């Protein structure tokens, strides 16, 4: 199932000068490229409610274009299979009934091959549409942008979900063989980079694509603050563990303490002690933990407890956004195909690892910006209705596309989630 990649414009739609048709092909084919290492059996399984089968991701992203683009903009469009609308809607209530989320792993049909046929069918119609409509209607362009960004989000989920699926197998299957990057030198000591307080504009101010939760741009007053110069490493986190971090209730949020007990957490996700040596399951295989890498697969609760233990705290999302303005938007993203966080490059100065590697938990609960109003209709269900009990994460991870992330980008997960690439950056003051 090796997928040919369009190489000229950069993988995964990176260049914004590409035509919509070119960008469409690149993003869509990159999804399939990420699935190349998988066998059909891998694509069916749902190991927990948060995880969806790869097959489902492949079909759902296709359904998105079919429903929100082809059905609206192509007169007389014939859906590939009317019944797929029920199977592959995720949560867009206003787009119709849908198959229950925890049951996604109960579907053997359509087969993986049939889903690829479905993708092909929709892709052909999308290409026709995109080539025919040289000057894209602005609503059409907006929906294609939304669809491609949506697809990129599911690319990230494909990787994190496949990691979870494979990790449940005692045989430790490898997603993609290969070495993990190391530097042979210790990461530099963490520095505290100081920022003045004041009244700042936050939110997306550019003229490209953005999600509605990044707007309206509004003013926010910050007290002076200091930011850790790099991510917290596995070595530092192991010190926390060895100091009884998981047994000291006074450093935990009340909910975190309960979650820790309920799930038996004693280490980050995917860690396992083999003969007294910490190993972890990675997309590159099961291997001893590299202590110089940033710690990953920690919940908000663990990130928060770690910060309290070390006498610091997590950043707010606005501190993060302001601080991120001083560094270029570069990092260990999915295009690097490391599929795993890597140690910080020694010798750097200022803020390192702000983008890529791991999503950084902030202490900000996910709330609407002043004046926020989701658009009416199904597409308005993208963000607003999740603004409750989740925390904002910033910066992207090894599974995020570099063309997908922004300084104002607000990811969000429940505080107990650990299956994403999530890590820790500290703040003070």
> Where does this chain bind its own copies (CB under 8 A)?
39-45, 47, 55, 83, 86-87, 91, 93-94, 99, 103, 105-112, 165-166, 168-171, 173, 199, 218-223, 249-250, 252-257, 300-301, 316, 363-365, 367-368, 370-371, 381, 385-389, 415, 429
Residue written as tokens 């089968």? 53
Round to whole Å and give the CA distance between 73 and 92.
19
DSSP type of residue 360: E
Nearer to its own copies, 180 or 378 (CB): 378
Nearer to its own copies, 342 or 417 (CB): 417
The DSSP secondary structure of 246-257, one letter per residue, reads GG-GGGS-HHHH
Nearer to its own copies, 235 or 313 (CB): 313
Round to whole Å and give the CA distance between 41 and 35.
12
Nearer to its own copies, 76 or 170 (CB): 170
Round to whole Å and give the CA distance between 328 and 402.
12
The nearest distance, CB 175 to its own copies, in angstroms, is 11
Nearer to its own copies, 166 or 232 (CB): 166
B/e letters for 367-383, b = 16+ CB within 10 Å, e = fewer, are eebeebebeeebbebbb
H, E, C per residue of 288-325? ECCCCCECCCCCHHHHHHHHHHCCCEECCHHHHHHHHH
Q: Residue 216, preceding bond cis, omega within 30 degrees?
A: yes
Which class for 79: exposed (0-12), middle (13-18), buried (19 or more C-beta within 10 A)? Answer: middle
Nearer to its own copies, 129 or 227 (CB): 227
Round to whole Å and give the CA distance between 180 and 340.
8
The nearest distance, CB 222 to its own copies, in angstroms, is 8
Show the tokens assigned to 195. Answer: 């920022």
User: 27 near 33, Cβ under 8 Å?
Assistant: no
Query: Nearest-CA neighbor of 47 among 156, 155, 165?
Result: 165
Round to whole Å and give the CA distance between 149 and 383.
14
Round to whole Å and give the CA distance between 118 and 147.
16
The nearest distance, CB 171 to its own copies, in angstroms, is 6
Nearer to its own copies, 9 or 387 (CB): 387
The nearest distance, CB 279 to its own copies, in angstroms, is 17
User: 118 near 59, Cβ under 8 Å?
Assistant: yes
Round to whole Å and give the CA distance between 178 and 172.
15
Nearer to its own copies, 243 or 255 (CB): 255
Neighbours of 185 (CB within 10 A): 11
The DSSP secondary structure of 241-297, one letter per residue, reads HHTTGGG-GGGS-HHHHHHHHHHT-SSSTTEEEETTEEEEEETTEEEE--TTSBP-S
Nearer to its own copies, 99 or 287 (CB): 99
User: 361 near 320, Cβ under 8 Å?
Assistant: no
The nearest distance, CB 168 to its own copies, in angstroms, is 4
Residues in the chain: 429
Nearer to its own copies, 188 or 380 (CB): 380
Contacts of 241 (CB under 8 A, 6+ apart): 266, 267
């Amino acid at each position: 199932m090796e997928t040919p990649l369009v190489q000229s414009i950069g993988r995964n739609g990176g260049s914004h000068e590409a035509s919509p048709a070119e960008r469409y092909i690149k993003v869509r084919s990159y999804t399939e490229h990420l699935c190349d290492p998988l066998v059909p059996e891998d694509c069916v399984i749902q190991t927990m409610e948060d995880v969806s089968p790869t097959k489902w991701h492949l079909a759902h992203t296709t359904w998105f274009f079919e429903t929100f683009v082809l059905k609206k903009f192509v007169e007389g469009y014939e859906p590939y299979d009317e019944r797929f609308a029920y199977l592959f809607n995720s949560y867009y209530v206003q787009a119709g009934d849908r198959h229950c989320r925890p049951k996604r792993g109960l579907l053997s049909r359509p087969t993986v091959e049939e889903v690829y046929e479905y993708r092909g069918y929709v892709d052909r119609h999308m290409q026709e549409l995109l080539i025919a409509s040289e000057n894209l209607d602005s609503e059409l362009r907006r929906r294609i942008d939304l669809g491609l960004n949506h697809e990129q989000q599911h690319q990230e989920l494909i990787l994190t979900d496949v990691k979870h699926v494979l990790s449940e197998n005692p045989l430790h299957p490898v997603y993609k063989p290969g070495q993990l990057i190391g530097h042979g030198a210790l990461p530099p000591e963490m520095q505290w980079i100081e920022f003045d307080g004041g009244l700042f504009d936050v939110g997306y101010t550019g003229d490209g694509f953005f999600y509605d939760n990044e707007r309206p741009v509004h003013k926010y007053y910050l007290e002076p603050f200091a930011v850790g110069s790099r991510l917290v490493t596995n070595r530092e986190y192991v010190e926390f563990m060895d100091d009884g971090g998981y047994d000291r209730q006074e450093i935990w949020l009340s909910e975190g303490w309960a979650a820790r007990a309920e799930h038996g957490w004693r280490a980050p996700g995917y860690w396992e002690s083999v003969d007294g040596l910490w190993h972890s399951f990675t997309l590159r295989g099961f291997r001893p933990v590299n202590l110089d890498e940033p710690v990953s697969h920690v919940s908000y609760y663990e990130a928060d407890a770690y910060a309290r233990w070390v006498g610091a705290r997590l950043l707010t999302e606005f501190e993060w956004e302001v601080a991120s303005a001083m560094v270029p938007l570069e990092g260990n993203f999915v295009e690097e195909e490391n599929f795993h966080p890597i140690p910080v490059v020694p010798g750097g100065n200022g803020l390192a690892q702000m983008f890529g590697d791991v999503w950084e938990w902030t202490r900000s609960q996910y709330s609407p910006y002043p004046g926020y109003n989701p658009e009416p209709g199904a597409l308005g269900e993208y963000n607003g209705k999740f603004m409750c009990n989740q925390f904002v994460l910033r910066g992207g991870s090894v599974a995020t596309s570099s063309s997908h992330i922004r300084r104002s980008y607000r990811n969000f997960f429940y505080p107990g989630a650990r299956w994403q690439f999530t890590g820790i950056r500290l703040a003070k003051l």
